[in-house]
Structure 1
Amino acid sequence: MTDAPDRPWLLTREAPEPLPRVLMGLFGLPPLWGAWDLVVRPWPAALTAAGLPALLMGLVALGLGTALLGAALLAPEREVHVDPLRREIRDSGRVRGLGSLDRRTPFDAVEEVAVLRDRATDGPDRLQLVLRLRGRRRPLVLMSRPIEARAEIEALAARLRAALQP
């Protein structure tokens, strides 16, 4: 991170860890087996009216399995940049081989920068740096860290609040 007030700076970079990627890949295989059993093996019968429900379920299972395997193999990454010159927060996601998806939030749309305790996790509680945006009910989560990283997340929240000042 640079200390120049007018240059864009990286707030956070997140990439999935190997274990969740492996689990996503493993959960992606059974729907593909279901698609095989529902559509491919009884192929001519799947085209009849009686086979239509099996065909639809098989296509849904194929889509679900493909999405999970794709997420596991392509490993989406997320970066959040703060750009004081353009007065926007750029939330970009990149997927290997597919390009990037950007969401730009203007500074004017931000009502509040908050640090919240997330209790809705499977493991220990975590802290989240969130933006409350005008016109949205749910806050935009910028980053999530363990409780032990409170000093780091509070410092980033203070820096973000300072950047949002006109």
Structure 2
Amino acid sequence: MIYVGKSNPKDKVRRCHEIINREQLSHIFPLKDYYDYVWFFWVRLTSMWTSKLQHGMTVESDKIMQELLTMLTYDSSEQGWAVFSRGLYDMTKGKGDILLTVLDNSKQWEDKVDYPDKFVPVMNEAISGVHPEHHCNRLILPGQTGHIPERVVCSECGRTMDKYVMYRCCTD
């Protein structure tokens, strides 16, 4: 498990890293290496997005574009999120509020996890059953990518997202 935080890690990420280390919640990268790994993670996702766009792919027609859009939307959000995987093929993900709901209600689905390989698929099923009354996703694409698509659909509901220009100063 790795805490990747945001594409532009700030003080909050450092504090989370210190808590994980101090309370020995997990084995973690040294802080000096950590920022490089996080930077590479987000740059790789952005590069993949840009490359797919340059090759004419769209979110509607390409599964990888759909997954990239979801991850980049998570980065643009002020909420938490998580990805769970086991092996090469089992993966599930979700926004923090949905994941907390699913985990709080684990009594409803934990009996389906009769061996470790079932955890991710069962959790994925539970996540897909949670539909918040209202959601609002935003996607912040770096301006230096050279290509901002005219049309982007929401990774949750499939509707076309409104397009804005945003200037942001965030102290986290």
TM-score of the superposed pair, with normalisation by structure 2: 0.28
**TM-score computed with the length of structure 1 as normaliser:** 0.29
Which structure has the larger Rg over C-alpha atoms? 1
Kindly indicate which of the two structures has a greater share of residues assigned to helix: 2
